[in-house]
Structure 1
């Protein structure tokens, strides 16, 4: 079973994403900020990361840059899921190593489509 780390400071967003991802047969882990997410990745590298941008302690872009430096940190598929929708943010995320970028609010169909596009689902 593939694993996905859900990184968002909103408990509601984490709950919604968890429900959708579990319906898609993912094992899910959660983190409320980038620092906790980085710690989780150092314990066990997930197959995918669903990542918010704006969070306390360590934001999404800082987390992503640190993740990609870790041993095995290039492997997880990272999908930014954020309200930041301007081209500068999207470009910065892709340059930092994000694989995909989706806008909040999202639904099951959007997540499933993105995970198919990046090869995590068939």
Structure 2
């Protein structure tokens, strides 16, 4: 299993007694694997409606909302999005709409939505 940004390999599971004191337990999240391929709903971001309040960015459990250094939302990384819909639900301007995954097909269907 690889983590985004670095290549920490997770080995065979160990019993807690076999882990040395100070050992690191890597958490499991969508950052470690691309989970966007099994969702049923996909968020679609409308940059015209978005006011970059960052409520979606703050609440996304998969850290799939993309923002630049200035705090402006720039899109959604659908490779890691599980399609939970929290972002669409919390958006005060309804700038994110959940659409059926079946509407998106072909190469790049899991690409960044910008």
Q: Which has the higher helix share?
A: 1
TM value normalised by structure 2: 0.27
TM value normalised by structure 1: 0.26
Rg: which structure is higher?
A: 2
